[in-house]
Amino acid sequence: MNVFITGGAGYIGSHTCVELIQAGHQVSVFDNFCNSQPEALARVERITGQRPQLYQGDIRDADALTYALKDSQATAVIHFAGLKSVGESVQNPLAYYDNNVVGTLRLLQAMRACDVKALVFSSSATVYGDPHQLPIPEDHPLSTTNPYGQTKLVIEEMLRDVHRSETQWRFAILRYFNPVGAHASGLIGEDPQGTPNNLMPFVAQVAVGRREFLNVWGDDYATADGTGVRDYIHVVDLALGHLKALERLANHTECEAINLGTGVGYSVLDMVKAFELACGKTLPYQVAPRRAGDIAACYANADKAERLLGWKAERDLTAMCEDGWRWQRANPQGYGQI
C-alpha cells in the first residue's frame, strides 16, 4: 500500500513509518517540522534501509497537500500532524483550532479531490474528559476540559459527519492513551522541545541529568498510592495498531473509534520506580500540588481493538522504560545534538 503520513517525522509518526516500511508498505511523509526534525527520517532510514519520501509543507496549504497526495500515489492517509500541548492550547486556542481543525478540514478536502478516502486519525483519550467509568469503553460519553481536547472532539465529529454523508469513506479514529518509550534500536524516540509537560520524558531527563528532580503533581487522589493513574502504552505497540487499522480499512467501509491502550493503569510512583530499575539510578522527586485540569485515573477498555483489529499491546512496563532509557541515554539532547 502507498501510505501518506502527515506528521510522520514526529514521535508517533516516525515509529509508525518504521513499522509500515518493515511490513512492506511504501511510505510518504508530509510534515512542516514545527515540532520535529528531518533527522528523525534519516534515523528511520538507518533502521529500515528506506527513507520515506518527504514532502515538506503545512497541512493548511491545500495546494501543497493536493500535489503531494497525487505525486505519492497514496491510497490511504495516517494523520498525525497537529499541535498537542494542553497548556499551550489554553493560552492560544486559535492556534490549535487553526492547526488541528482547519488543517484536518484541508486534508479531507484534498483527499476528496484526489479520491483518496481512507484515513486513520490520531485522537486521544482526552475526549473522555474526567471518566465516570473505568476501564473506559469507546461508548463512554465524550467531553473535554481544554481547547486541545476540543479540537480532537470537533475533528471526530467532522469525520462522523463526512462518513454519514458519503459512506464510501473509511475512517479509523484511534484514541491513544499515554504513549511512552522508544524504538528498541535507541535511534528514534520522543524529543520534546523545552521543558517536557508529560511525565515520562520529564523522568527520562531527570535520569540523564538535564533536570534536577521530578514534581509529582498531587499525592491525594483516590488511587492506591494517591498519585495519578494512567494507561501507558509502548509507542511501538501503538505504531503496530496503526498498521492493523490500515489493513482493516482495506476491507471495511466504516467510521469506527477504537481505544489504543493496554487496559492497565499505573501510578506516577509506579512509573518512577520502573524507570529507576531501567536506568539503575535513584530519581529524586518531590510532591507538589495537583496540576490544574488533571484527573485521578484513566485507562482503557481495549477489547474493541482486539475484536476489530486483532491487536493488543504486547510490550510491558519494563520494555517501555528500558527502551525509553536507551533512547534518552544515547541522545541526551534528543535529535538536537546533531
Give the residue, chosen from 45, 58, 254, 303, that forms a contact with ligand NAD under the rule CB under 6 A: 58
Give the residue, chosen from 4, 55, 80, 299, that forms a contact with ligand NAD under the rule CB under 6 A: 80
d(CA 142, CA 130): 10
Position 13 contacts ligand NAD (CB under 6 A): yes
Non-local CB neighbours of 65 within 8 Å, separated by 6+ positions:
30, 57, 59, 106, 107, 110
Using alpha carbons, select from 103, 155, 74, 118 the residue that is nearest to residue 246: 118
Position 34 contacts ligand NAD (CB under 6 A): yes
Q: Which is nearer to ligand WQD, 110 or 302 (CB)?
A: 302
Sheet holding 266-267, edge to edge: 266-267, 229-230, 297-298
- The site that binds ligand NAD (CB under 6 A) totals a number of residues, namely 26
In the region spanning residues 187 to 216, those forming contacts with ligand WQD, defined by CB under 6 A, are: 197-199, 202, 214-216
The kind and range of the H/E element at 328 are helix 317-330
Q: Which is nearer to ligand WQD, 88 or 294 (CB)?
A: 294
What binding mask, one character per residue, do residues 123-142 give for ligand NAD by CB under 6 A, x or -? Answer: -x------------------
**AA letter at 39:** E
**AA letter at 241:** G
Instruction: Answer yes or no: are the C-beta atoms of 79 and 122 closer than 8 Å.
Output: yes
Catalytic entry in 11, 55, 96, 148: 148
**DSSP state letters, 146-168:** SHHHHHHHHHHHHHHHHHHH-TT
Position 261 contacts ligand NAD (CB under 6 A): no
Burial class (CB within 10 angstroms; exposed 0-12, middle 13-18, buried 19+) of 307: exposed
> Which residue spans within the chain are E strands per DSSP?
2-6, 26-31, 53-56, 76-79, 118-124, 170-176, 178-180, 214-217, 229-230, 232-234, 255-260, 266-267, 285-288, 297-298
- Residue entry with cell 488543517: 103
- Choose from ligand WQD, ligand NAD, none: what does 31 bind? Cβ within 5-8 Å by kind: ligand NAD
Position 70 contacts ligand WQD (CB under 6 A): no
Position 261 contacts ligand WQD (CB under 6 A): no
Give the residue, chosen from 89, 126, 205, 259, that forms a contact with ligand WQD under the rule CB under 6 A: 126
In the region spanning residues 292 to 321, those forming contacts with ligand NAD, defined by CB under 6 A, are: none
Q: Which is nearer to ligand NAD, 37 or 267 (CB)?
A: 37
- Choose from ligand WQD, ligand NAD, none: what does 13 bind? Cβ within 5-8 Å by kind: ligand NAD
DSSP label at residue 83: -
In the region spanning residues 10 to 49, those forming contacts with ligand WQD, defined by CB under 6 A, are: none
Is 176 among the catalytic positions?
Answer: no
Q: Which is nearer to ligand NAD, 98 or 270 (CB)?
A: 98
Q: Which is nearer to ligand WQD, 211 or 248 (CB)?
A: 211
Helix-, strand-, coil-residue percentages of the chain, each rounded to 5: 40, 20, 40
Torsions phi, psi of 177, nearest 5? -90, -125
In the region spanning residues 168 to 197, those forming contacts with ligand NAD, defined by CB under 6 A, are: 176, 179
Interface with ligand WQD by CB under 6 A: which residues?
A: 84, 86, 124, 126, 178, 197-199, 202, 214-217, 228, 230, 268, 291, 294
Residues that bind ligand NAD (CB under 6 A): 7, 9-13, 31-36, 58-60, 80-84, 99, 103, 122, 124, 176, 179
Catalytic residues: 148
